[in-house]
Amino acid sequence: MPLNIVSNFASNIAQRNLGMSDAAATSSLAKLSSGSRVVSAKDDAASLAIGSRLNAEVVGLKQAAVNAGQASSMLQIADGAMAKTNDILVRMKSLSVQAGSGQLSATERAMLDTEYQALVSEVDRISNDTDFAGTSLVNGAITSTTTATNSAFDVADGVQDIVFRGDTSTSGDATIAYDGGGNFSVTVGSDVFTGSISSDTNDGSAMSTGTVVTLTNTGSTNKVDIVLNTAFDVDGTTGTTESLALAGSSTTSFTFKVGTGTSSTADDISVSVNSVSASALSIGSTSVTTEANADAASVAISNAIDDVQTYRATIGANQNRLEFAAANIATATENTEAARSQLLDLDVASEMSNFTSKQILIQAGVSMLAQANQLPQNLMRLFN
């Protein structure tokens, strides 16, 4: 290569290598500051793609663990309600045996029956009042469907759902009415449930999705929830009445997501919780006013106690299953996280050594570039 002062090839080479060293040091610095081996796709496209999927799996598994924990807590609440119901049934058993003895008069049996009926009401109250975050647990399920073809209370008209919460023996026909001023009423047999849209939203405009209007009856522990959506116009429907068909069930089914997929067998656990209302336990119409009634009540209560223990055994079995599912999720999370770490997490010690090497190369490159820039000056001595 000829010696010249126009093109400094040595300087160009030094600049190129210095630029490469600087880029490598910058990349190493980015990895060290982020703690990740793959900062961008160009670092390792395959590892980034696989690691991202594993990371999504880890996040899903952690939420599944939360779901399993909440499901177990939910079943524990149901089991607690059944335990208290069992305590009440034991007391009712004592009253029925006492009332079945011949030394008591009708007046004394009437006194016993006063407590007995109060306990029947308490069984229903516990059944209706036990819930988890607003979801009823041990009172079965009542579904409703409108019977008319041109319903004014369907989803298109702003009524997202009509939920009956209470005695699962309720069935047959009912009616729902709205007066156009924010007031609903539902008639079930001789019971009329009433409720109003809160005054702060009763402004004649459309409702927000998820607005719930709860209807109650002072003589009943049952309730009716009407769920509205944005299509409901507070002032748009006046004096409208619609028929409903009610169907009761003695169980409520829950499906808990304990996996990250959509398979009903691999990712879901389904649990049915039985109702412990007085009617579901077949004690709602019992009394201890006579010896015969007391004996019949004693048999019914014994059967109810057996049923409650069977229901509690089912809940306990499902709680144990959920605990094993949670333990499996924890193991899967640990192993998946380890696999993701192998692909994406940075070996700090190794990368720190690499960064130190690049720093030395940068320092050497800067020094050699300074030397290269002085080479043309040496040629000037030939003119002297």
Q: Distance between CA 61 and CA 334 in Å, rounded?
A: 10
Q: Average pLDDT, stretch 50-59?
A: 89
Tens-place pLDDT, residues 256-290: 999 888 888 888 999 999 989 888 898 988 999 99
Q: Distance between CA 155 and CA 132 in Å, rounded?
A: 26
Categorize the per-residue pLDDT at 167 as very low, low, confident or very high, splitting at 50, 70 and 90. Answer: low
Under 8 Å between Cβ of 90 and 97? no
User: What does the CA dihedral 43, 47, 49, 55 come to, rounded to 10 degrees?
Assistant: -120
Tens-place pLDDT, residues 121-138: 999 889 888 888 878 888
Q: Distance between CA 1 and CA 17 in Å, rounded?
A: 20
pLDDT at position 359 is 85
Amino acid letter, residue 266: A
- For the ranges 41-45, 323-327, 339-343, the lowest mean pLDDT is seen at 41-45
Q: Distance between CA 89 and CA 286 in Å, rounded?
A: 12
The answer on pLDDT for 309 being more than 50 is yes
Higher pLDDT: 113 or 383? It is 113
**Would you call 162 helix, strand, or coil by DSSP?**
strand
The DSSP 8-state label assigned to residue 150 in this structure reads: S
pLDDT at position 239 is 63
Q: Distance between CA 242 and CA 244 in Å, rounded?
A: 7
Q: Average pLDDT, stretch 357-366?
A: 84
Answering whether pTM is above 0.85, one says: no
Q: Distance between CA 326 and CA 64 in Å, rounded?
A: 8
The answer on pLDDT for 171 being more than 60 is no
Residue 277 buriedness (CB in 10 A; 0-12 / 13-18 / 19+): buried
| Joined tokens for residue 377 | 């000056």
| Joined tokens for residue 170 | 């309720």
Which residues 6+ apart lie within 8 Å of 354 measured at CB? 28
Categorize the per-residue pLDDT at 252 as very low, low, confident or very high, splitting at 50, 70 and 90. Answer: confident
pLDDT at position 381 is 72
pLDDT at position 204 is 47
Q: Distance between CA 310 and CA 306 in Å, rounded?
A: 6
Give just the sign of the alpha carbon dihedral 91, 95, 100, 103: positive
Residues listed for the chain: 384
Q: Average pLDDT, stretch 206-220?
A: 76
Of residues 113, 159, 143, 124, the one with CA closest to residue 281:
124
pLDDT at position 266 is 86
Q: Cα(first)–Cα(last) distance of the chain, in Å?
A: 23
Residue 358 neighbours by CB distance under 10 Å: 20
- The residue whose two tokens read 């001595």 is 381
Higher pLDDT: 264 or 53? It is 53
Q: Distance between CA 36 and CA 182 in Å, rounded?
A: 57
Of residues 240, 222, 243, 247, the one with CA closest to residue 158:
240
Tens-place pLDDT, residues 75-107: 999 999 999 999 999 999 999 999 999 899 999
